């Protein structure tokens, strides 16, 4: 995923880390030709397929991820939640993963619609999450790092882990404090 600091790193070091990673992962010469080069945003489709003993496919479960480097910021949780809700309204996905803000916040959304079966309804649950904060609670030195210069608050470093159970067609996000 391409981010807002990549241009600065390329300019300062004459090294394009994003292009190098994509080239090494996809084994292509031109990054634009690689299906894994999303740039700042893109959709990732995960397909879990059950295969019978004879090799025939019997059941498929698809999870659509919308991923974005992210933008914006703020200090109050309400602004972040609104941005996540807008993402779910604007993108047809099961899970939206967004970075940039150096926070972790999750917003679920459940939409109900008529079922193909008479007199029934079905629900679709989505989730959007700002994932990734890499700033520890205490400063380790007197040097002003990027987060200090930008006035970002101190937070525990955290990680989001996704667990998938294809047999149950279920996914779960687990937020850990490192």
Predicted local confidence at residue 145, as pLDDT? 64
CA distance 131 to 107: 12
CA distance 41 to 24: 20
Q: What are the helix (H) ranges across the chain?
A: 6-13, 17-26, 77-90, 146-149
Range of lowest pLDDT (19-28, 42-51, 88-97, 117-126): 19-28
Q: Which residue has the higher pLDDT, 2 or 87?
A: 87
CA distance 96 to 126: 8
Question: CA end-to-end span of the chain, whole Å?
Answer: 23
- Distance between alpha carbon 88 and the CA centroid of its chain, in Å? 13
CA distance 112 to 123: 4
Q: Which residue has the higher pLDDT, 39 or 142?
A: 39
Taking only the tens place, the pLDDT of each residue in 42-57 is 898 888 888 878 777 7
Q: What is the mean pLDDT of residues 142-164?
A: 69
CA distance 29 to 90: 33
- How is residue 55 annotated by DSSP? S
Could you tell me the two tokens for 18? 């994003």
Among 171, 178, 79, 72, CA closest to 134: 178
Reported as a pLDDT band with limits 50, 70 and 90, residue 88 is very high
Reported as a pLDDT band with limits 50, 70 and 90, residue 133 is low
Among 171, 86, 100, CA closest to 130: 100
3-state per-residue secondary structure call for 114-146: ECCCCCCEEEEEEEEEECCECCCCCCCCCCCCH
């Amino acid at each position: 995923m391409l981010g807002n600091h990549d241009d600065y790193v390329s300019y300062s070091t004459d090294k394009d880390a994003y292009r190098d990673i994509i080239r090494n992962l996809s084994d292509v010469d031109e990054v634009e030709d690689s299906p894994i080069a999303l740039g700042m945003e893109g959709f990732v489709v995960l397909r879990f397929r059950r295969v019978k003993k004879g090799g025939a496919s019997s059941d498929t479960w698809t999870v659509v991820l919308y991923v974005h480097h992210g933008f914006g910021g703020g200090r109050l949780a309400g602004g972040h939640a609104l941005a996540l809700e807008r993402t779910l309204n604007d993108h047809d996905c099961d899970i939206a993963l967004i970075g940039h803000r150096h926070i972790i916040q999750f917003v679920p959304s459940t939409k109900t619609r008529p079922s193909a079966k008479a007199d029934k309804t079905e629900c679709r649950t989505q989730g959007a999450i700002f994932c990734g904060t890499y700033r520890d609670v205490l400063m380790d030195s007197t040097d002003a790092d990027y987060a200090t210069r930008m006035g970002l608050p101190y937070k525990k470093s955290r990680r989001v882990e996704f667990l998938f159970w294809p047999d149950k067609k279920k996914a779960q996000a687990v937020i850990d404090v490192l």
